[in-house]
Chain A
């Protein structure tokens, strides 16, 4: 018994970094009880994500398998979402297109959140001249309309997934740093930040251990909101022909190319990718809202 004491206390006294295994299931139960819509959003997003990641396995047809005999067929059991003007299976194309959109969205959102947190924490915590300089930089950056900047960069570098991730990540990251900065400034003024200074904590320690956990709800919301926004932006780019180049399918290019041209005679061409976009963005936003509410430590244990 006594030999077990150190290990037992080491695992139980540390609820933030190595939670006991039941913490996740109890958190999911809370999510289901208090935020059923958020849980549904999370499930839908995860399902769609898994479907898209496994697109090549699930897809019944090759995305570039054309057939003039089968062109513009309405949805049927064979072709769940019909076929396009070249006889390609829309369901397969939506899955594979979703894969590209999702990966771009998650990577670009992750990049944007890292950029926002780093810039926002530095500006918000140090204030003064540091804040002034970073904020003027952010101002200057935000003067450019997003789309113009995207078009310029893409036309210089050429279209492709890596440049789309970097441009969208920086674009949303720099704009989002304002939100993080505001949250940091609120937390910085709290007495516990000053208390952390009086116990001799370094600025790095204070930022990492005292400020970041307290702005976590904002960061989570920022991340999930960005996923939706990046998927839409990527669709917009593809719609303009500046996204991932054809023949790779993306939701944006499916909407803009065949979707728009054949909207009246084959509406499923626009409805299928459009519906997927809407569902993904809606589900991730619902999930993000719920996470923010549940993870806010100030509300923890009050209900």
Chain B
């Protein structure tokens, strides 16, 4: 069986006042049906841009290139805007990181959950609202029928994120893209939301692309991981392999800089030295070389390509000298 989503050599270039800016550079990955793929990286590594490019929502300032984004054997980049619109919210849904601003303040929660159903399933208003009530129950909001008539400001952040998940699930999509779905939430609520997202995607058989910078979330919820740095995937592996044996120095750096309770409190937290590179002035060789503890002469001049290191995992590194 082919993958549900097959992104091939995707690049995104923004036109800026200072010339073109390549935010995503030759990214390829696949997501199988029902699988959870985590995309990890620092701010500005191109995670969110990749997600928006999948949905064709980058607007006029960006150019998307590559060998296609195959979704269910249909190239999303070749679709007309109208055909793409019919896929969004229907076959591919998205959950954003700002639950506080992702809901329209002037429409009731019920109307907003019913909206994708009415748009794509051509359901009547009453029917869509009945389905919305069912969805609210599914995301564990008590007293769903009454809360349908409430406005977003009457919901807490965690509740709103539940509403957004209900909206994403409304048309039983084959793929859900969640862009840092828990970043804006309290730690106690984060786990609840992610557990819910996992449970519901499993029930419906939907695949999940989980964009995050939190390795703890990756370890707990993902099946496979793609690590992005400066617009490129630098390592991709199953969660097990990645955490047991990270191959790329950047992945190792990320893991080392995750806080751990076991470590004595007085030792300084490990960090990756330096700053993420300016995308407009990427170094000629490996983008990570200036910050890499293992960098050597070759890293500075020759860009490492993604190479298969063992079945199912790739890494882009020349390795230690």
In the assembled complex, how far is the CB of residue B52 from the closest CB belonging to chain A, in whole angstroms?
9
Contact indicator per residue, chain B 117-160, by CB within 8 Å of chain A (1) or not (0): 00110000110011000000000000000001101011000000
Contacting residue for B96 out of A10, A12, A191, A214, CB 8 A = A191
Give the residues from 191 to 241 in chain A that come closer than 8 angstroms, CB to CB, to chain B: 191-192, 194-202, 205, 209-210, 213-214, 216
**Cβ–Cβ < 8 Å partners of B94 in chain A:** 195, 198
**Cβ–Cβ < 8 Å partners of B170 in chain A:** 199
Which residue of chain B lies nearest to A212 when distances are taken between CB atoms in the complex? B106
Interface size on B, residues (CB 8 A): 39
Give the residues from 3 to 33 in chain A that come closer than 8 angstroms, CB to CB, to chain B: 6, 9-10, 12-16
- Interface stretch, picked from B84-92, B237-245, B249-257, B259-267, is B84-92
Contacting residue for B88 out of A15, A127, A199, A302, CB 8 A = A199
Contact A194 B96, beta carbon cutoff 8 Å: yes
- B13: Cβ under 8 A from any A Cβ: no
Which residue of chain B lies nearest to A14 when distances are taken between CB atoms in the complex? B125
In the assembled complex, how far is the CB of residue A303 from the closest CB belonging to chain B, in whole angstroms?
12
Contact A191 B108, beta carbon cutoff 8 Å: no
- B319: Cβ under 8 A from any A Cβ: no
Contact A199 B151, beta carbon cutoff 8 Å: no
Contact B108 A198, beta carbon cutoff 8 Å: no
Contact B89 A298, beta carbon cutoff 8 Å: no
Interface size on A, residues (CB 8 A): 33
Give the residues from 74 to 129 in chain B that come closer than 8 angstroms, CB to CB, to chain A: 85-90, 93-94, 96, 98, 101-108, 110-111, 115-116, 119-120, 125-126, 129
Report which residue of A198, A216, A300 has the largest number of chain B beta carbons within 10 angstroms of its beta carbon. Answer: A198
**Cβ–Cβ < 8 Å partners of A16 in chain B:** 106-108, 111
Q: Known contacts A198-B94, A200-B87; decide if A190 and B101 are in contact (CB<8 Å).
A: yes
- B60: Cβ under 8 A from any A Cβ: yes
**Cβ–Cβ < 8 Å partners of A247 in chain B:** none
Q: Known contacts A9-B126, A13-B129, A297-B151; decide if A199 and B89 are in contact (CB<8 Å).
A: yes
- A301: Cβ under 8 A from any B Cβ: yes
Contact B154 A200, beta carbon cutoff 8 Å: no
Contact B153 A298, beta carbon cutoff 8 Å: yes
**Cβ–Cβ < 8 Å partners of B96 in chain A:** 191, 194-195, 198
- B40: Cβ under 8 A from any A Cβ: no
- A128: Cβ under 8 A from any B Cβ: yes
**Cβ–Cβ < 8 Å partners of B115 in chain A:** 196, 199, 201, 209
Q: Report the Cα distance A191→B88, complex, angstroms.
A: 16
Contact A9 B129, beta carbon cutoff 8 Å: yes
Contact B102 A191, beta carbon cutoff 8 Å: yes
Q: Report the Cα distance A13→B57, complex, angstroms.
A: 32
- B53: Cβ under 8 A from any A Cβ: no
In the assembled complex, how far is the CB of residue A114 from the closest CB belonging to chain B, in whole angstroms?
20
Q: Known contacts A195-B164, A213-B107; decide if A200 and B151 are in contact (CB<8 Å).
A: no
Which residue of chain A lies nearest to B117 when distances are taken between CB atoms in the complex? A199
**Cβ–Cβ < 8 Å partners of A302 in chain B:** 153
Q: Report the Cα distance A15→B150, complex, angstroms.
A: 10
Contact A300 B85, beta carbon cutoff 8 Å: no
Contact A195 B149, beta carbon cutoff 8 Å: no
Contact B88 A209, beta carbon cutoff 8 Å: no
**Cβ–Cβ < 8 Å partners of A214 in chain B:** 104-106
Contact B107 A197, beta carbon cutoff 8 Å: no
Contacting residue for B105 out of A9, A14, A195, A298, CB 8 A = A298
- B62: Cβ under 8 A from any A Cβ: no
Q: Known contacts A15-B108, A213-B107; decide if A199 and B116 are in contact (CB<8 Å).
A: yes
Contact B106 A213, beta carbon cutoff 8 Å: yes
Contacting residue for A209 out of B57, B107, B164, CB 8 A = B107
- B167: Cβ under 8 A from any A Cβ: yes
In the assembled complex, how far is the CB of residue B103 from the closest CB belonging to chain A, in whole angstroms?
6
Q: Report the Cα distance A198→B129, complex, angstroms.
A: 20
Q: Report the Cα distance A192→B95, complex, angstroms.
A: 11
- B69: Cβ under 8 A from any A Cβ: no
10 contacts between A and B (CB under 8 A): A10-B126, A15-B149, A16-B108, A194-B96, A196-B115, A199-B88, A205-B119, A209-B107, A210-B107, A213-B107
Q: A12-B149, A16-B106, A195-B164 are in contact. List 9 more A-B contacts (CB 8 A).
A: A9-B129, A13-B110, A194-B96, A197-B57, A198-B57, A199-B119, A200-B120, A213-B107, A297-B151
